[in-house]
Structure 1
Amino acid sequence: MSAAPPQQRPVLALAIRIAAVAMLATLMALVKLLSQRGVSFIEIMFWRQFITVPLILGFVMMQGQLIRLRTSRVTHHFRRAILGLAGMAMTFGSAILLPLAEAQALQFTAPLFATILSVFLLKEKVGAWRLSALFMGFAGILVITQPGEIAIHPLGLAAGLGSAFAIALLSILIKDLNRSEKPLTIVFYFAAFTTPLLALGLPFVDMAHDTGTWLLILAMGLCGLVGQMLLTLALRLGPVSSVIVMDYTGLGWSALYGVLLFSQYPPAATWIGAPLIVAAGLLIVWREHSLQKAELHAENMLGR
Protein backbone atom coordinates (compact mmCIF):
# COMPACT_ATOMS: atom_id res chain seq x y z
CA MET A 1 0.00 0.00 0.00
CA SER A 2 1.42 3.38 -0.99
CA ALA A 3 1.89 6.05 1.65
CA ALA A 4 -0.84 8.64 2.02
CA PRO A 5 0.10 12.04 0.62
CA PRO A 6 1.11 14.55 3.30
CA GLN A 7 -1.61 16.86 4.59
CA GLN A 8 -1.14 20.41 3.33
CA ARG A 9 -0.95 23.11 6.02
CA PRO A 10 0.26 26.19 4.12
CA VAL A 11 0.26 28.69 7.02
CA LEU A 12 2.29 26.37 9.25
CA ALA A 13 4.58 25.65 6.29
CA LEU A 14 5.35 29.36 5.93
CA ALA A 15 6.16 29.72 9.64
CA ILE A 16 8.43 26.67 9.54
CA ARG A 17 10.19 27.98 6.44
CA ILE A 18 10.91 31.31 8.19
CA ALA A 19 12.47 29.43 11.11
CA ALA A 20 14.46 27.27 8.69
CA VAL A 21 15.82 30.33 6.88
CA ALA A 22 16.91 31.91 10.19
CA MET A 23 18.65 28.69 11.19
CA LEU A 24 20.41 28.34 7.84
CA ALA A 25 21.51 31.99 7.90
CA THR A 26 23.08 31.25 11.29
CA LEU A 27 24.74 28.21 9.74
CA MET A 28 26.28 30.39 7.01
CA ALA A 29 27.63 32.82 9.59
CA LEU A 30 29.21 29.94 11.51
CA VAL A 31 30.75 28.55 8.32
CA LYS A 32 32.36 31.93 7.65
CA LEU A 33 33.60 32.17 11.24
CA LEU A 34 35.12 28.69 11.09
CA SER A 35 36.84 29.46 7.80
CA GLN A 36 38.39 32.58 9.33
CA ARG A 37 39.60 30.48 12.28
CA GLY A 38 41.55 28.28 9.87
CA VAL A 39 39.22 25.28 9.60
CA SER A 40 39.60 23.76 6.13
CA PHE A 41 36.71 23.74 3.68
CA ILE A 42 36.55 19.94 3.43
CA GLU A 43 36.46 19.65 7.24
CA ILE A 44 33.64 22.19 7.53
CA MET A 45 31.66 20.16 5.00
CA PHE A 46 32.43 16.88 6.78
CA TRP A 47 31.39 17.99 10.27
CA ARG A 48 28.26 19.65 8.91
CA GLN A 49 27.16 16.23 7.62
CA PHE A 50 28.72 13.83 10.13
CA ILE A 51 27.05 15.31 13.21
CA THR A 52 23.64 14.64 11.66
CA VAL A 53 24.11 10.86 11.42
CA PRO A 54 24.64 9.91 15.11
CA LEU A 55 22.06 12.46 16.28
CA ILE A 56 19.30 11.02 14.09
CA LEU A 57 20.34 7.43 14.74
CA GLY A 58 20.40 8.04 18.49
CA PHE A 59 17.01 9.76 18.35
CA VAL A 60 15.21 6.94 16.52
CA MET A 61 16.93 4.20 18.54
CA MET A 62 15.95 5.83 21.85
CA GLN A 63 12.37 5.77 20.63
CA GLY A 64 12.70 2.20 19.38
CA GLN A 65 11.69 3.36 15.90
CA LEU A 66 14.67 2.50 13.74
CA ILE A 67 12.12 1.36 11.17
CA ARG A 68 11.43 5.06 10.46
CA LEU A 69 14.64 5.13 8.44
CA ARG A 70 13.59 2.28 6.18
CA THR A 71 13.22 3.31 2.55
CA SER A 72 12.54 1.76 -0.84
CA ARG A 73 13.87 4.80 -2.72
CA VAL A 74 17.60 4.45 -2.18
CA THR A 75 18.43 5.63 -5.70
CA HIS A 76 16.36 8.78 -5.25
CA HIS A 77 18.05 9.52 -1.94
CA PHE A 78 21.49 9.02 -3.46
CA ARG A 79 20.69 11.36 -6.34
CA ARG A 80 19.39 13.97 -3.90
CA ALA A 81 22.53 13.52 -1.75
CA ILE A 82 25.00 14.09 -4.60
CA LEU A 83 23.16 17.16 -5.87
CA GLY A 84 22.77 18.39 -2.28
CA LEU A 85 26.50 17.96 -1.65
CA ALA A 86 27.35 20.03 -4.73
CA GLY A 87 24.82 22.67 -3.71
CA MET A 88 26.14 22.79 -0.14
CA ALA A 89 29.72 23.19 -1.38
CA MET A 90 28.72 26.15 -3.55
CA THR A 91 26.58 27.68 -0.80
CA PHE A 92 29.40 27.45 1.74
CA GLY A 93 31.90 28.68 -0.83
CA SER A 94 29.88 31.79 -1.61
CA ALA A 95 29.45 32.54 2.12
CA ILE A 96 33.21 32.30 2.64
CA LEU A 97 34.25 34.28 -0.44
CA LEU A 98 31.56 36.98 -0.38
CA PRO A 99 29.97 39.21 2.27
CA LEU A 100 27.01 37.31 3.76
CA ALA A 101 24.37 39.72 2.42
CA GLU A 102 25.65 39.44 -1.16
CA ALA A 103 25.91 35.65 -0.93
CA GLN A 104 22.34 35.47 0.37
CA ALA A 105 21.01 37.82 -2.32
CA LEU A 106 22.47 35.64 -5.08
CA GLN A 107 20.59 32.63 -3.70
CA PHE A 108 17.35 34.52 -4.32
CA THR A 109 17.81 33.76 -8.00
CA ALA A 110 16.58 30.20 -7.36
CA PRO A 111 13.04 30.94 -8.68
CA LEU A 112 14.60 32.37 -11.85
CA PHE A 113 16.54 29.18 -12.44
CA ALA A 114 13.43 27.14 -11.64
CA THR A 115 11.63 28.99 -14.43
CA ILE A 116 14.47 28.32 -16.87
CA LEU A 117 14.52 24.64 -15.86
CA SER A 118 10.77 24.40 -16.51
CA VAL A 119 11.42 25.43 -20.11
CA PHE A 120 14.17 22.90 -20.80
CA LEU A 121 13.04 20.00 -18.62
CA LEU A 122 9.25 20.33 -18.66
CA LYS A 123 8.90 22.06 -22.06
CA GLU A 124 6.77 24.78 -20.49
CA LYS A 125 6.14 28.03 -22.31
CA VAL A 126 7.30 31.22 -20.61
CA GLY A 127 4.91 34.09 -21.12
CA ALA A 128 5.43 37.83 -20.86
CA TRP A 129 5.06 37.92 -17.06
CA ARG A 130 7.71 35.34 -16.28
CA LEU A 131 9.99 36.60 -19.05
CA SER A 132 9.80 40.08 -17.51
CA ALA A 133 10.64 38.56 -14.12
CA LEU A 134 13.72 36.88 -15.59
CA PHE A 135 15.01 40.17 -17.01
CA MET A 136 14.28 41.95 -13.72
CA GLY A 137 16.07 39.30 -11.68
CA PHE A 138 19.19 39.26 -13.78
CA ALA A 139 19.21 43.05 -13.80
CA GLY A 140 19.35 42.80 -10.01
CA ILE A 141 22.37 40.50 -10.30
CA LEU A 142 24.13 43.04 -12.51
CA VAL A 143 23.39 45.82 -10.01
CA ILE A 144 24.81 43.80 -7.11
CA THR A 145 27.92 42.64 -8.95
CA GLN A 146 28.46 45.98 -10.78
CA PRO A 147 30.67 44.62 -13.56
CA GLY A 148 33.64 46.89 -14.12
CA GLU A 149 33.01 48.92 -10.96
CA ILE A 150 33.57 46.76 -7.87
CA ALA A 151 35.79 43.68 -7.85
CA ILE A 152 33.39 41.04 -6.55
CA HIS A 153 35.15 37.69 -6.21
CA PRO A 154 34.40 35.85 -9.49
CA LEU A 155 34.55 32.40 -7.88
CA GLY A 156 32.23 33.59 -5.11
CA LEU A 157 29.81 34.94 -7.72
CA ALA A 158 29.87 31.65 -9.63
CA ALA A 159 29.36 29.69 -6.40
CA GLY A 160 26.43 31.90 -5.35
CA LEU A 161 24.63 31.49 -8.66
CA GLY A 162 25.47 27.79 -8.75
CA SER A 163 23.99 27.27 -5.29
CA ALA A 164 20.78 28.99 -6.41
CA PHE A 165 20.59 26.66 -9.41
CA ALA A 166 21.07 23.67 -7.09
CA ILE A 167 18.35 24.97 -4.75
CA ALA A 168 15.91 25.10 -7.66
CA LEU A 169 16.65 21.49 -8.57
CA LEU A 170 16.67 20.29 -4.96
CA SER A 171 13.27 21.82 -4.23
CA ILE A 172 11.80 19.65 -6.99
CA LEU A 173 13.61 16.50 -5.81
CA ILE A 174 12.70 17.00 -2.14
CA LYS A 175 9.07 17.70 -2.99
CA ASP A 176 8.99 14.39 -4.87
CA LEU A 177 10.65 12.50 -1.98
CA ASN A 178 8.17 14.06 0.47
CA ARG A 179 5.37 12.16 -1.26
CA SER A 180 6.56 8.93 0.34
CA GLU A 181 9.35 9.76 2.81
CA LYS A 182 9.39 11.52 6.16
CA PRO A 183 11.62 14.61 6.64
CA LEU A 184 13.78 12.70 9.14
CA THR A 185 14.46 10.00 6.54
CA ILE A 186 15.33 12.47 3.80
CA VAL A 187 17.77 14.39 6.00
CA PHE A 188 19.35 11.19 7.35
CA TYR A 189 20.17 9.70 3.96
CA PHE A 190 21.56 13.01 2.72
CA ALA A 191 24.10 12.91 5.54
CA ALA A 192 24.64 9.13 5.46
CA PHE A 193 25.54 9.08 1.78
CA THR A 194 27.77 12.17 1.77
CA THR A 195 29.70 11.76 5.04
CA PRO A 196 31.86 8.82 3.80
CA LEU A 197 32.68 10.73 0.61
CA LEU A 198 33.80 13.79 2.57
CA ALA A 199 35.79 11.62 5.01
CA LEU A 200 38.11 10.66 2.15
CA GLY A 201 39.58 14.16 2.25
CA LEU A 202 40.21 14.34 6.01
CA PRO A 203 43.71 12.74 5.97
CA PHE A 204 44.90 15.72 3.92
CA VAL A 205 43.78 18.45 6.34
CA ASP A 206 44.81 19.58 9.84
CA MET A 207 42.11 18.80 12.44
CA ALA A 208 43.79 20.24 15.56
CA HIS A 209 41.51 22.96 17.01
CA ASP A 210 40.96 24.75 20.30
CA THR A 211 37.84 24.26 22.44
CA GLY A 212 36.12 27.37 21.07
CA THR A 213 36.49 26.15 17.50
CA TRP A 214 35.10 22.71 18.35
CA LEU A 215 32.09 24.37 20.00
CA LEU A 216 31.51 26.39 16.83
CA ILE A 217 31.76 23.19 14.78
CA LEU A 218 29.16 21.53 17.01
CA ALA A 219 26.87 24.55 16.75
CA MET A 220 27.26 24.50 12.96
CA GLY A 221 26.26 20.84 12.80
CA LEU A 222 23.21 21.39 15.01
CA CYS A 223 22.08 24.44 13.00
CA GLY A 224 22.50 22.48 9.80
CA LEU A 225 20.48 19.53 11.10
CA VAL A 226 17.63 21.62 12.52
CA GLY A 227 17.56 23.93 9.50
CA GLN A 228 17.47 21.02 7.04
CA MET A 229 14.70 19.30 9.01
CA LEU A 230 12.60 22.46 9.05
CA LEU A 231 13.30 23.13 5.37
CA THR A 232 12.18 19.64 4.38
CA LEU A 233 9.13 19.77 6.66
CA ALA A 234 8.01 23.08 5.14
CA LEU A 235 8.14 21.54 1.65
CA ARG A 236 6.07 18.63 2.96
CA LEU A 237 3.33 20.85 4.37
CA GLY A 238 3.09 23.50 1.64
CA PRO A 239 3.66 24.02 -2.10
CA VAL A 240 7.13 24.97 -3.30
CA SER A 241 5.85 28.12 -4.99
CA SER A 242 4.48 29.43 -1.69
CA VAL A 243 7.07 28.46 0.90
CA ILE A 244 10.05 29.58 -1.17
CA VAL A 245 8.84 33.18 -0.78
CA MET A 246 9.92 33.07 2.87
CA ASP A 247 13.54 32.60 1.81
CA TYR A 248 13.72 36.35 1.25
CA THR A 249 13.71 36.91 5.02
CA GLY A 250 17.24 35.52 4.99
CA LEU A 251 18.64 38.80 3.66
CA GLY A 252 17.87 40.52 6.96
CA TRP A 253 19.60 37.80 8.98
CA SER A 254 22.62 37.74 6.68
CA ALA A 255 23.00 41.52 6.75
CA LEU A 256 22.72 41.49 10.57
CA TYR A 257 25.32 38.74 11.00
CA GLY A 258 27.59 40.47 8.48
CA VAL A 259 27.55 43.67 10.50
CA LEU A 260 27.76 42.14 14.00
CA LEU A 261 30.30 39.40 13.35
CA PHE A 262 32.37 40.60 10.41
CA SER A 263 31.86 44.39 10.29
CA GLN A 264 30.65 44.01 6.69
CA TYR A 265 28.11 46.68 5.81
CA PRO A 266 26.22 45.87 2.59
CA PRO A 267 26.87 48.55 -0.06
CA ALA A 268 24.05 50.54 -1.63
CA ALA A 269 24.21 48.31 -4.71
CA THR A 270 23.05 45.34 -2.61
CA TRP A 271 20.01 47.19 -1.30
CA ILE A 272 19.10 48.23 -4.86
CA GLY A 273 19.82 44.95 -6.61
CA ALA A 274 18.38 42.61 -3.98
CA PRO A 275 14.84 44.10 -4.14
CA LEU A 276 14.90 43.63 -7.93
CA ILE A 277 15.74 39.95 -7.48
CA VAL A 278 13.13 39.58 -4.72
CA ALA A 279 10.48 41.31 -6.86
CA ALA A 280 11.32 39.01 -9.77
CA GLY A 281 10.93 35.95 -7.58
CA LEU A 282 7.64 37.19 -6.14
CA LEU A 283 6.36 37.89 -9.65
CA ILE A 284 7.16 34.33 -10.70
CA VAL A 285 5.48 32.93 -7.58
CA TRP A 286 2.39 35.10 -8.18
CA ARG A 287 2.20 34.01 -11.80
CA GLU A 288 2.56 30.33 -10.89
CA HIS A 289 -0.18 30.68 -8.28
CA SER A 290 -2.49 32.41 -10.78
CA LEU A 291 -1.95 29.68 -13.37
CA GLN A 292 -2.61 26.94 -10.81
CA LYS A 293 -5.85 28.63 -9.74
CA ALA A 294 -6.94 28.96 -13.37
CA GLU A 295 -6.22 25.27 -14.02
CA LEU A 296 -8.09 24.22 -10.88
CA HIS A 297 -11.08 26.38 -11.87
CA ALA A 298 -11.12 24.87 -15.34
CA GLU A 299 -11.01 21.34 -13.90
CA ASN A 300 -13.91 22.14 -11.56
CA MET A 301 -15.95 23.52 -14.43
CA LEU A 302 -15.34 20.42 -16.51
CA GLY A 303 -16.30 18.21 -13.57
CA ARG A 304 -19.74 19.72 -13.28
Structure 2
Amino acid sequence: MSVILMLIASACFATMAAMIKGIGFSLPIPEIIFFRSILPLPFFLGALWLQKKKLVVTAWKTLLLRAIFGFLAITGFYYTLAHIPLAISVFLGKTQPLILAVLAPWVVGEKTSRSVWFAIGTGLAGIVLILDPSLGWTAAAWASIGAATASAIAHLLVRKLNRTDDPVTIVTNFFIVTALLSSLWMGPSFIMPDRAQWLLLGGVALFSTIGQYLMTLAYRMDYAPVVAAASYASIVFSVLYGYFFWNEVPPVSAWAGGFLILAGSFILLRSRI
Protein backbone atom coordinates (compact mmCIF):
# COMPACT_ATOMS: atom_id res chain seq x y z
CA MET A 1 0.00 0.00 0.00
CA SER A 2 2.86 2.40 0.80
CA VAL A 3 4.32 1.95 -2.69
CA ILE A 4 0.93 2.72 -4.29
CA LEU A 5 0.60 5.86 -2.14
CA MET A 6 4.10 6.97 -3.14
CA LEU A 7 3.37 6.34 -6.82
CA ILE A 8 0.27 8.54 -6.59
CA ALA A 9 2.26 11.16 -4.68
CA SER A 10 4.93 11.08 -7.43
CA ALA A 11 2.25 11.61 -10.07
CA CYS A 12 0.97 14.58 -8.05
CA PHE A 13 4.44 16.15 -7.80
CA ALA A 14 5.08 15.64 -11.53
CA THR A 15 1.68 17.21 -12.31
CA MET A 16 2.53 20.16 -10.06
CA ALA A 17 5.85 20.64 -11.87
CA ALA A 18 4.14 20.49 -15.27
CA MET A 19 1.62 23.13 -14.16
CA ILE A 20 4.42 25.42 -12.96
CA LYS A 21 6.15 24.96 -16.31
CA GLY A 22 2.80 25.77 -17.95
CA ILE A 23 2.68 29.08 -16.07
CA GLY A 24 6.25 29.75 -17.24
CA PHE A 25 7.13 33.43 -17.55
CA SER A 26 3.54 34.69 -17.47
CA LEU A 27 3.69 35.29 -13.70
CA PRO A 28 6.68 36.32 -11.52
CA ILE A 29 8.29 33.51 -9.52
CA PRO A 30 7.59 35.14 -6.10
CA GLU A 31 3.90 35.36 -7.01
CA ILE A 32 3.76 31.64 -7.86
CA ILE A 33 5.49 30.82 -4.57
CA PHE A 34 3.08 33.09 -2.68
CA PHE A 35 -0.03 31.34 -4.00
CA ARG A 36 1.66 27.94 -3.63
CA SER A 37 2.14 28.78 0.06
CA ILE A 38 -1.09 30.60 0.89
CA LEU A 39 -3.68 28.39 -0.81
CA PRO A 40 -2.96 25.18 1.20
CA LEU A 41 -2.78 27.07 4.53
CA PRO A 42 -6.49 26.68 5.44
CA PHE A 43 -6.11 22.90 5.10
CA PHE A 44 -3.13 22.73 7.46
CA LEU A 45 -4.54 25.27 9.93
CA GLY A 46 -7.73 23.22 10.03
CA ALA A 47 -5.71 20.05 10.66
CA LEU A 48 -3.91 21.73 13.58
CA TRP A 49 -7.21 22.92 15.04
CA LEU A 50 -8.93 19.53 14.73
CA GLN A 51 -5.95 17.69 16.22
CA LYS A 52 -5.54 20.38 18.92
CA LYS A 53 -1.87 20.87 18.15
CA LYS A 54 0.13 24.03 18.75
CA LEU A 55 0.39 26.61 16.00
CA VAL A 56 4.02 27.71 16.45
CA VAL A 57 7.05 25.41 16.57
CA THR A 58 9.29 25.28 19.62
CA ALA A 59 12.56 25.47 17.68
CA TRP A 60 11.59 28.60 15.77
CA LYS A 61 15.18 29.55 14.87
CA THR A 62 15.70 26.19 13.15
CA LEU A 63 12.31 26.59 11.47
CA LEU A 64 13.34 29.99 10.12
CA LEU A 65 16.51 28.50 8.63
CA ARG A 66 14.50 25.61 7.19
CA ALA A 67 12.05 28.07 5.63
CA ILE A 68 14.83 30.19 4.09
CA PHE A 69 16.56 27.20 2.49
CA GLY A 70 13.21 25.75 1.44
CA PHE A 71 12.33 29.08 -0.13
CA LEU A 72 15.64 29.11 -2.05
CA ALA A 73 15.02 25.54 -3.19
CA ILE A 74 11.53 26.35 -4.50
CA THR A 75 12.78 29.50 -6.24
CA GLY A 76 15.58 27.62 -8.01
CA PHE A 77 13.27 24.77 -8.98
CA TYR A 78 10.62 27.09 -10.43
CA TYR A 79 13.26 29.06 -12.35
CA THR A 80 14.67 25.82 -13.75
CA LEU A 81 11.27 24.56 -14.90
CA ALA A 82 10.78 27.67 -17.02
CA HIS A 83 14.17 27.35 -18.75
CA ILE A 84 15.05 23.68 -19.34
CA PRO A 85 13.12 20.52 -20.31
CA LEU A 86 10.90 19.07 -17.59
CA ALA A 87 12.53 15.63 -17.50
CA ILE A 88 16.07 17.03 -17.24
CA SER A 89 14.95 19.36 -14.45
CA VAL A 90 13.57 16.36 -12.54
CA PHE A 91 16.74 14.32 -13.24
CA LEU A 92 18.87 17.06 -11.70
CA GLY A 93 16.45 17.42 -8.80
CA LYS A 94 17.05 13.76 -7.94
CA THR A 95 20.60 14.68 -6.88
CA GLN A 96 19.09 15.96 -3.63
CA PRO A 97 19.59 12.66 -1.66
CA LEU A 98 23.24 12.54 -2.78
CA ILE A 99 23.89 16.14 -1.76
CA LEU A 100 22.10 15.42 1.51
CA ALA A 101 24.53 12.53 2.13
CA VAL A 102 27.48 14.90 1.56
CA LEU A 103 26.12 17.49 4.00
CA ALA A 104 24.81 15.13 6.70
CA PRO A 105 28.12 14.74 8.61
CA TRP A 106 28.36 18.51 9.13
CA VAL A 107 24.69 19.36 9.70
CA VAL A 108 23.39 16.45 11.79
CA GLY A 109 26.59 14.56 12.64
CA GLU A 110 25.86 11.44 10.57
CA LYS A 111 28.84 9.36 9.46
CA THR A 112 29.44 8.78 5.73
CA SER A 113 30.46 5.21 4.77
CA ARG A 114 32.55 4.10 1.79
CA SER A 115 29.47 2.91 -0.11
CA VAL A 116 27.84 6.31 0.37
CA TRP A 117 30.87 8.06 -1.12
CA PHE A 118 30.73 5.66 -4.09
CA ALA A 119 27.05 6.56 -4.54
CA ILE A 120 27.90 10.27 -4.42
CA GLY A 121 30.64 9.84 -7.03
CA THR A 122 28.26 7.95 -9.33
CA GLY A 123 25.68 10.72 -9.03
CA LEU A 124 28.26 13.44 -9.74
CA ALA A 125 29.31 11.62 -12.92
CA GLY A 126 25.65 11.65 -13.94
CA ILE A 127 25.43 15.41 -13.39
CA VAL A 128 28.47 15.98 -15.63
CA LEU A 129 26.92 13.84 -18.39
CA ILE A 130 23.63 15.76 -18.26
CA LEU A 131 25.02 19.26 -18.03
CA ASP A 132 28.03 19.30 -20.31
CA PRO A 133 26.65 17.92 -23.62
CA SER A 134 22.98 18.88 -23.35
CA LEU A 135 22.82 22.09 -21.29
CA GLY A 136 26.29 23.57 -21.54
CA TRP A 137 26.40 24.54 -17.86
CA THR A 138 23.75 27.23 -18.25
CA ALA A 139 22.42 29.43 -15.43
CA ALA A 140 19.30 27.26 -15.27
CA ALA A 141 21.43 24.14 -14.81
CA TRP A 142 23.32 25.75 -11.94
CA ALA A 143 20.01 26.92 -10.48
CA SER A 144 18.80 23.31 -10.49
CA ILE A 145 21.91 22.11 -8.62
CA GLY A 146 21.59 25.03 -6.22
CA ALA A 147 17.93 24.18 -5.62
CA ALA A 148 18.83 20.54 -4.89
CA THR A 149 21.52 21.70 -2.44
CA ALA A 150 19.14 24.09 -0.66
CA SER A 151 16.51 21.34 -0.54
CA ALA A 152 19.03 18.93 1.02
CA ILE A 153 19.88 21.45 3.75
CA ALA A 154 16.16 22.09 4.35
CA HIS A 155 15.52 18.35 4.75
CA LEU A 156 18.37 18.01 7.23
CA LEU A 157 16.91 20.88 9.24
CA VAL A 158 13.52 19.14 9.18
CA ARG A 159 15.21 16.15 10.84
CA LYS A 160 16.25 18.47 13.65
CA LEU A 161 12.76 19.98 13.89
CA ASN A 162 11.15 16.53 14.08
CA ARG A 163 12.94 16.00 17.40
CA THR A 164 10.96 18.82 19.03
CA ASP A 165 7.85 19.54 16.94
CA ASP A 166 4.94 17.88 15.12
CA PRO A 167 5.23 17.49 11.31
CA VAL A 168 1.91 19.28 10.65
CA THR A 169 3.04 22.25 12.76
CA ILE A 170 6.37 22.31 10.90
CA VAL A 171 4.69 22.32 7.47
CA THR A 172 2.16 24.98 8.52
CA ASN A 173 4.89 27.26 9.84
CA PHE A 174 6.92 26.70 6.67
CA PHE A 175 4.00 27.82 4.49
CA ILE A 176 3.43 30.90 6.65
CA VAL A 177 7.08 31.99 6.46
CA THR A 178 7.41 31.34 2.70
CA ALA A 179 4.18 33.27 2.09
CA LEU A 180 5.65 36.23 3.98
CA LEU A 181 9.01 36.01 2.20
CA SER A 182 7.42 35.76 -1.24
CA SER A 183 5.01 38.64 -0.53
CA LEU A 184 7.95 40.89 0.43
CA TRP A 185 9.82 39.89 -2.72
CA MET A 186 6.75 40.24 -4.91
CA GLY A 187 6.12 43.87 -3.95
CA PRO A 188 4.78 46.06 -6.78
CA SER A 189 5.48 43.40 -9.44
CA PHE A 190 2.18 41.64 -8.68
CA ILE A 191 0.19 40.61 -11.76
CA MET A 192 -3.46 39.68 -11.37
CA PRO A 193 -3.79 36.11 -12.72
CA ASP A 194 -6.34 35.45 -15.45
CA ARG A 195 -8.77 32.51 -15.35
CA ALA A 196 -6.33 29.99 -16.84
CA GLN A 197 -3.55 31.10 -14.48
CA TRP A 198 -5.87 30.81 -11.46
CA LEU A 199 -6.65 27.24 -12.49
CA LEU A 200 -2.95 26.41 -12.81
CA LEU A 201 -2.12 28.07 -9.47
CA GLY A 202 -4.95 26.19 -7.79
CA GLY A 203 -3.70 22.98 -9.36
CA VAL A 204 -0.16 23.63 -8.12
CA ALA A 205 -1.42 24.11 -4.56
CA LEU A 206 -3.82 21.14 -4.75
CA PHE A 207 -1.42 18.57 -6.22
CA SER A 208 1.51 19.64 -4.04
CA THR A 209 -0.63 19.37 -0.89
CA ILE A 210 -2.04 15.95 -1.86
CA GLY A 211 1.46 14.79 -2.78
CA GLN A 212 2.91 15.93 0.54
CA TYR A 213 0.11 14.25 2.50
CA LEU A 214 0.34 10.92 0.62
CA MET A 215 4.13 10.93 0.85
CA THR A 216 3.92 11.42 4.62
CA LEU A 217 1.48 8.50 4.90
CA ALA A 218 3.71 6.30 2.76
CA TYR A 219 6.78 6.95 4.91
CA ARG A 220 4.78 6.11 8.02
CA MET A 221 3.66 2.74 6.59
CA ASP A 222 6.91 1.24 5.27
CA TYR A 223 10.71 1.37 5.28
CA ALA A 224 12.08 4.63 3.95
CA PRO A 225 14.26 3.00 1.22
CA VAL A 226 11.25 1.17 -0.24
CA VAL A 227 9.13 4.32 -0.35
CA ALA A 228 11.99 6.46 -1.66
CA ALA A 229 12.60 3.99 -4.50
CA ALA A 230 8.94 4.31 -5.53
CA SER A 231 9.30 8.11 -5.62
CA TYR A 232 11.47 7.85 -8.74
CA ALA A 233 8.31 7.18 -10.70
CA SER A 234 8.04 10.97 -10.91
CA ILE A 235 10.68 10.82 -13.66
CA VAL A 236 8.42 8.65 -15.82
CA PHE A 237 5.49 11.03 -15.36
CA SER A 238 7.73 14.05 -16.09
CA VAL A 239 9.06 12.50 -19.31
CA LEU A 240 5.49 11.83 -20.47
CA TYR A 241 4.32 15.36 -19.61
CA GLY A 242 7.34 16.87 -21.34
CA TYR A 243 6.77 14.84 -24.48
CA PHE A 244 3.02 15.30 -24.83
CA PHE A 245 2.78 18.99 -23.87
CA TRP A 246 6.12 20.47 -25.00
CA ASN A 247 7.45 17.83 -27.43
CA GLU A 248 10.56 17.45 -25.24
CA VAL A 249 12.72 14.37 -25.78
CA PRO A 250 15.82 14.17 -23.54
CA PRO A 251 19.06 13.41 -25.44
CA VAL A 252 20.92 10.13 -24.94
CA SER A 253 23.50 11.86 -22.73
CA ALA A 254 20.72 13.07 -20.40
CA TRP A 255 19.30 9.54 -20.12
CA ALA A 256 22.78 8.16 -19.37
CA GLY A 257 23.40 10.86 -16.76
CA GLY A 258 19.95 10.33 -15.26
CA PHE A 259 20.65 6.61 -15.01
CA LEU A 260 23.90 7.27 -13.10
CA ILE A 261 22.10 9.67 -10.73
CA LEU A 262 19.41 7.07 -10.07
CA ALA A 263 22.04 4.34 -9.65
CA GLY A 264 23.85 6.47 -7.09
CA SER A 265 20.59 7.11 -5.27
CA PHE A 266 19.74 3.40 -5.16
CA ILE A 267 23.23 2.57 -3.84
CA LEU A 268 22.61 5.20 -1.18
CA LEU A 269 19.23 3.67 -0.32
CA ARG A 270 20.75 0.17 -0.09
CA SER A 271 23.36 1.48 2.34
CA ARG A 272 20.54 2.67 4.64
CA ILE A 273 18.78 -0.74 4.86
Common fold by TM > 0.5: yes
Q: Structure 1 length as normaliser, TM-score?
A: 0.79
The percent of aligned pairs where both chains have the same amino acid is 28
Partner residue of 1:81? 67
Q: CA deviation at 1:153?
A: 5.8
Which stretch of the first structure deviates more once superposed, 247-256 or 77-86? 77-86
Partner residue of 1:39? 27
Partner residue of 1:18? 7
Q: CA deviation at 1:209?
A: 2.9
Q: CA deviation at 1:18?
A: 2.8
Which stretch of the first structure deviates more once superposed, 78-87 or 235-244? 235-244
TM-superposition CA deviations, 1:126-163 (whole Å, max 9, x none): 31x33332222111112212x2x444462211121122
For structure 1, which runs of at least 5 residues remain unmatched after alignment? 1-10, 290-304
C-alpha distance in structure 1 between counterparts of 2:197 and 2:216, whole Å = 28
C-alpha distance in structure 1 between counterparts of 2:63 and 2:52, whole Å = 18
Q: CA deviation at 1:125?
A: 4.5
Partner residue of 1:6? none
Partner residue of 1:126? 113
Partner residue of 1:93? 79
The question of whether the paired residues in 1 share the 8 Å contact of 2:126 and 2:261 is answered with yes
Q: CA deviation at 1:98?
A: 1.2
SS of corresponding position for 2:249: coil
Match 2:227 to one of 219, 240, 243? 243
Partner residue of 1:282? 266
Note the aligned Cα RMSD (angstroms): 2.5
For 1:112, give the aligned amino acid. Answer: L
Q: Structure 2 length as normaliser, TM-score?
A: 0.87
Q: How many residues align?
A: 272
C-alpha distance in structure 2 between counterparts of 1:281 and 1:53, whole Å = 32
The question of whether the paired residues in 2 share the 8 Å contact of 1:241 and 1:285 is answered with yes
For structure 2, which runs of at least 5 residues remain unmatched after alignment? none
Which stretch of the first structure deviates more once superposed, 44-53 or 129-138? 129-138
C-alpha distance in structure 1 between counterparts of 2:164 and 2:225, whole Å = 20
C-alpha distance in structure 2 between counterparts of 1:174 and 1:201, whole Å = 24
Match 1:261 to one of 221, 245, 248? 245
The question of whether the paired residues in 1 share the 8 Å contact of 2:101 and 2:112 is answered with no
C-alpha distance in structure 2 between counterparts of 1:177 and 1:203, whole Å = 31
Which stretch of the first structure deviates more once superposed, 80-89 or 17-26? 17-26
Which stretch of the first structure deviates more once superposed, 76-85 or 116-125? 116-125
TM-superposition CA deviations, 1:222-265 (whole Å, max 9, x none): 12222233334444555554433233211101101111221211
SS of corresponding position for 2:24: helix
For 1:1-304, list aligned pairs within 5 A: 12=2, 14-36=3-25, 38-58=26-46, 63=50, 65=51, 67=53, 69=55, 71-121=57-107, 122=109, 124-127=111-114, 129-145=115-131, 147=132, 149-152=133-136, 154-179=138-163, 181-238=165-222, 240-289=224-273
CA gap of 1:119–1:55, structure 2 versus 1, over 3 A, is closer
C-alpha distance in structure 1 between counterparts of 2:194 and 2:184, whole Å = 23
Q: CA deviation at 1:51?
A: 0.7
TM-superposition CA deviations, 1:33-79 (whole Å, max 9, x none): 1124x111111111111112233335555x4x554535433333323
